[in-house]
Structure 1
Amino acid sequence: MSAVVDVAVLGAGVAGLATAIDLASAGLSTVVLERKPFVGGRAYSYDHPALQEVVDSQHVLLGCCVNLVDLSQRSGAAEHLRWYDEIPFLEPGGRRSVLRAGTSPKASLGFLRAPMLGWKDKIAVARGLREFFAGYPQRDDESFAQWLKRTRQTPLAIRHFWEPIVIATLNDGFERCSMRYAGQVFHEAFVKSAEGGRMGIPTLPLSEYYAHFATYAESLGADLQLRASVDRIERIGGIWSAFAGEKAVRAKNLVLALPFEQTAKLLDVPHIGEFTHAPITTIHLWFDREVCDVEQCALLDTRIQWLFNKSRIRGNAGAEQYLELVISGSFAELKMQREEILHGALRELAQFFPKVLAAKLLKSGVLKEARATFSVTPGLDAFRPDTSAPGEGLYLAGDWTATGWPSTMEGAARSGRLAASAILGRSCLAPELKADGLARLFVRD
Structure 2
Amino acid sequence: MSDVIVIGAGLAGLAAATALSSQGAEVTVIDRKPFVGGRAYSYEHPSLHEIVDCQHVLLGCCTNLRALCEDAGIGDKIRWYDELTFLETNGSSTSIHPSGLPSPFHASPAFLRASMLGLADKVGVARGLVEFLRGYPADDSESVAQWLKRTHQSERAIRHFWEPVIVGALNDSFENCSTRYAGQVFHESFIKSAEGGRLGIPKRPLSEFYGEVARQAQQQGTSFLLTQSVDTPLQRDGDRWLIHLEDQTLSTENVIIAVPFEQVQRLLPAELNTTSDLIANAGQFRNAPITTVHLWFDREITELDHAVLLDTGIQWIFHKSRIRRWPASAGSYVELVISASHPHLKRSREDLLSSSLEELAMFFPAVKKAELRKSGILKEARATFSVMPGLDKFRPSQKTDLPGLYLAGDWTQTGWPSTMEGAVRSGFLAAGEVMDSPRRFLRSDLPPQGLMRWLSK
The TM-score with structure 2 as length reference comes to 0.95
Q: Distance in 1 between matches of 2:122 and 2:454?
A: 22
Structure 2 partner of 1:175: 175
Which deviates the most, 424-433 or 303-312? Answer: 424-433
Alpha-carbon shift at residue 315 of structure 1 (Å): 1.5
SS at match of 2:351: helix
SS at match of 1:43: coil
Q: Distance in 2 between matches of 1:439 and 1:361?
A: 48
Structure 2 partner of 1:431: 444
Q: Distance in 2 between matches of 1:391 and 1:156?
A: 51
Are 2:302 and 1:292 equivalent residues in the alignment?
A: yes
Q: Distance in 2 between matches of 1:371 and 1:278?
A: 6
Q: Is the 8 A contact 2:386 2:418 kept in 1?
A: yes
- Per-residue CA deviations over 1:380-425 (Å, capped at 9, x if unaligned) read 1010000002431100000011111000000000000000111112
Structure 1 partner of 2:111: 111
Give 2:338's aligned amino acid. I
Q: Distance in 1 between matches of 2:435 and 2:306?
A: 40
Give 1:215's aligned amino acid. R
Q: Distance in 1 between matches of 2:48 and 2:186?
A: 38
Are 2:351 and 1:350 equivalent residues in the alignment?
A: no
Alpha-carbon shift at residue 358 of structure 1 (Å): 1.1
Are 2:331 and 1:334 equivalent residues in the alignment?
A: no
Correspondence for 1:47 among 44, 48, 52:
44
Alignment of 1:1-400 (within 5 A): 4-100=1-97, 103=103, 105-232=105-232, 233-267=234-268, 268=273, 269-319=279-329, 320-400=331-411
Q: Is the 8 A contact 1:89 1:300 kept in 2?
A: yes
- Per-residue CA deviations over 1:319-340 (Å, capped at 9, x if unaligned) read 2110000000000100100010
Q: Distance in 2 between matches of 1:96 and 1:430?
A: 37
Q: Distance in 1 between matches of 2:407 and 2:454?
A: 38
Give 1:437's aligned amino acid. G
Alpha-carbon shift at residue 270 of structure 1 (Å): 3.2
SS at match of 2:342: coil
Alpha-carbon shift at residue 105 of structure 1 (Å): 4.7
Which consecutive residues of structure 1, in runs of 5 or more, have no partner in the other structure? none
Q: Is the 8 A contact 1:103 1:190 kept in 2?
A: no
List, as ranges, runs of 4+ consecutive aligned residues in structure 1 with deviation greater than 4 Å: none
SS at match of 1:327: strand
Alpha-carbon shift at residue 106 of structure 1 (Å): 4.5
Q: Distance in 1 between matches of 2:106 and 2:399?
A: 44
- Per-residue CA deviations over 1:295-326 (Å, capped at 9, x if unaligned) read 01111111101000000111113221100000
Give 1:18's aligned amino acid. A
Correspondence for 1:401 among 394, 397, 412:
412
Give 1:205's aligned amino acid. P
Alpha-carbon shift at residue 246 of structure 1 (Å): 3.3
Alpha-carbon shift at residue 110 of structure 1 (Å): 0.8
Q: Distance in 1 between matches of 2:403 and 2:105?
A: 53
Structure 1 partner of 2:427: 416
SS at match of 1:274: coil
Give 2:378's aligned amino acid. L
SS at match of 1:362: strand
Give 2:60's aligned amino acid. G
SS at match of 1:148: helix
Alpha-carbon shift at residue 208 of structure 1 (Å): 0.5
Q: Distance in 2 between matches of 1:306 and 1:317?
A: 22
Question: How many corresponding residue pairs?
Answer: 441
Q: Is the 8 A contact 2:164 2:308 kept in 1?
A: yes
Structure 2 partner of 1:442: 455
Alpha-carbon shift at residue 159 of structure 1 (Å): 0.5
SS at match of 1:387: coil
SS at match of 2:14: helix
Which consecutive residues of structure 2, in runs of 5 or more, have no partner in the other structure? 274-278
Q: Distance in 2 between matches of 1:425 and 1:105?
A: 42
Q: Distance in 1 between matches of 2:423 and 2:121?
A: 35
- Per-residue CA deviations over 1:276-308 (Å, capped at 9, x if unaligned) read 100000000011111112001111111101000
Q: Distance in 2 between matches of 1:382 and 1:213?
A: 32
SS at match of 2:183: helix
Give 1:179's aligned amino acid. T
Give 1:120's aligned amino acid. A
- Per-residue CA deviations over 1:23-59 (Å, capped at 9, x if unaligned) read 0011111111111000000000000011110000000
Q: Distance in 2 between matches of 1:113 and 1:323?
A: 28
Q: Distance in 1 between matches of 2:425 and 2:5?
A: 18
SS at match of 1:413: helix
- Per-residue CA deviations over 1:71-127 (Å, capped at 9, x if unaligned) read 100001212100001100111132111113683555111111111111101111101
Alpha-carbon shift at residue 148 of structure 1 (Å): 0.3
> What is the aligned-residue identity percentage?
55
Q: Is the 8 A contact 1:296 1:308 kept in 2?
A: yes
Q: Distance in 1 between matches of 2:105 and 2:407?
A: 43
Give 1:154's aligned amino acid. S
- Per-residue CA deviations over 1:159-217 (Å, capped at 9, x if unaligned) read 11000000011010000001111111001000011111101000100000100110011
Q: Distance in 2 between matches of 1:436 and 1:257?
A: 35
Q: Is the 8 A contact 1:241 1:251 kept in 2?
A: yes
Alpha-carbon shift at residue 440 of structure 1 (Å): 1.9
